[in-house]
Amino acid sequence: MTSRAVDRRATAASEELSTVDGLAQLSFLIHGTLERRAAERELSIIQTRLLGVLRDRKPTMNELAKVLMLDKSSISGLVDRAERRDLVVRVPSDADRRAVLVALTDRGRALVSDVAARFGADVSSLLDRLPASDRATLSRLVSRLLVAHAADRGIDLFAPTTTG
Amino acid sequence: MTSRAVDRRATAASEELSTVDGLAQLSFLIHGTLERRAAERELSIIQTRLLGVLRDRKPTMNELAKVLMLDKSSISGLVDRAERRDLVVRVPSDADRRAVLVALTDRGRALVSDVAARFGADVSSLLDRLPASDRATLSRLVSRLLVAHAADRGIDLFAPTTTG
DNA sequence: TATTGTTATACTCTATAACTATA
DNA sequence: TATAGTTATAGAGTATAACAATA
């Protein structure tokens, strides 16, 4: 039964959570952790993702829409609100005068680094509950899952990034 | 560096993702899976969580606010929209004439079961990428993490549920 | 007085449709 | 014509504040 997965409670049926339920609960725990850390800096998850994408790219609005899987009109609003807070700037594209590039400001970069650092510390301290050997094992299994899943979609996680 | 955790890309630096990044990515993958399965039934994550909570409880609006960690006014709107779709019903409380109980309709129960089943199947098929012995190991490690985390908050995951 | 729930209001986030400017 | 982006509009989801009914 995976039914408990949609709320966050444990089954008392067995002394160990089912793998599916456990993984689901852990996922919500970690997602909620990021949500909370972002909220402490007045960021929503989507604003945080926006800033995260911009850390190593200066995409057009259109490219942002594809990466974040949102309509271009949603990106307009998202970038508007981030720009109002001086977290990002719109820059006209040289190559195509219709296009607009979006870049992180220093303030935006500092903010996303801060959130990422505190979130990372949260996950680290969660992992610290396990002995080092278990951590290594967990890391290996999780990597395998991600690699297998990525392979299903024809993506090689470890290929040099071709900066979409 | 946990910096990549806030976007969803892999580091190519090492042949294995850091444990923190890997766990974060896996979490977003699983969260996104639920989001997608819920959206297929026109449900948001929060509507799905609402229905999930109601599967084994008939709480007051106030209790819902606590469980979902939302303001009571947000619960009013949430329940309004679910009630409009005939997924839940408001029932006057006998014990306290100020209070309102919320219950799942048959339609609501069917819907949440459907979403939970398909989501569970997704996670299962992801896990099927691992050999059975690895799955067992992963399950054990994840359970340990959740138990340790719950213990930090003074919660025993395996205690009989005292129906808040 | 305190608590339960609703309503009014405001803002974020999202999509669709219509629009402008450029390719 | 097709594409990049914005704007208008509508609806979900969230919080704060003010309110009504009951405890």
The per-residue pLDDT string of chain B (164 residues; one tens digit each, 9 = 90 and over) reads 444 556 544 443 344 578 899 999 999 999 999 999 999 999 999 999 999 999 999 999 999 999 999 999 999 999 999 999 999 999 999 999 999 999 999 999 999 999 999 999 999 999 999 999 999 999 999 999 999 898 888 776 666 543 33
Q: Is residue A110 a part of any domain in this protein?
A: yes
In chain A, the DSSP E strands lie at: 88-92, 100-104
pTM for the whole thing?
0.89
**Predicted pLDDT of residue A155:** 74
Give A78-127 pLDDT, tens digit per residue.
Answer: 999 999 999 999 999 999 999 999 999 999 999 999 999 999 999 999 99
Q: Is residue B74 a part of any domain in this protein?
A: yes
Partner-chain contact B31 A26, CB within 8 Å: no
Across A140-151, average pLDDT: 92
* DSSP letter (8 states) at residue B161: P
Q: Is residue B42 a part of any domain in this protein?
A: yes
Q: How far apart are CA A69 and CA A72, in angstroms?
A: 9
Q: Is residue A163 a part of any domain in this protein?
A: no
Q: Is residue A92 a part of any domain in this protein?
A: yes
CATH of the domain at A94: 1.10.10.10
> Is pLDDT of A11 > 50?
no
Query: What mean pLDDT, rounded, does chain A reach?
Result: 88
Residues 6+ apart with CB under 8 A from A61: A72, A75, A76, A79, A99, A100, A102
| Chain C bases near protein CB atoms (7 A cut-off) | 3-8, 12-18, 21-23
Residue A90: closest CA among A64, A110, A113: A64
Across A130-135, average pLDDT: 93
Number of domains in chain A: 1
**Predicted pLDDT of residue A163:** 37
The band of A151, judged by pLDDT with boundaries at 50, 70 and 90, is confident
Q: How far apart are CA B119 and CA B35, in angstroms?
A: 9
Taking all atoms of strand D, which protein residues have CB closer than 7 Å?
A 60-63, 72-73, 75-77, 79-80, 90, 93, 96, 98-101; B 44, 46-47, 69-71, 73-74, 77-78, 81, 96-98
> Is pLDDT of A157 > 80?
no
Asked whether the beta carbons of B5 and A120 are under 8 A apart, the reply is yes
Q: Is residue B158 a part of any domain in this protein?
A: no
**Subset of residues 47-86 in chain A with CB less than 7 angstroms from any atom in strand C:** 47, 69-71, 73-74, 77-78, 81
Give the range of the structural domain holding residue B63, as residue numbers without chain letter: 20-152
Q: Is residue B3 a part of any domain in this protein?
A: no
**Predicted pLDDT of residue B19:** 87
Q: Is residue A32 a part of any domain in this protein?
A: yes
**Predicted pLDDT of residue B8:** 40
What are the CA-CA distances from residue A58 to residues A29, A72, A102, B10, B68 (Å)?
Answer: 31, 16, 6, 18, 37
**Predicted pLDDT of residue B155:** 73
Q: How far apart are CA A99 and CA A93, in angstroms?
A: 6
Give A47-77 pLDDT, tens digit per residue.
Answer: 999 999 999 999 999 999 999 999 999 999 9
Give A12-33 pLDDT, tens digit per residue.
Answer: 334 457 889 899 999 999 999 9
What are the CA-CA distances from residue A56 to residues A51, B29, B77, B122 (Å)?
Answer: 10, 21, 39, 31
Asked whether the beta carbons of A164 and A68 are under 8 A apart, the reply is no
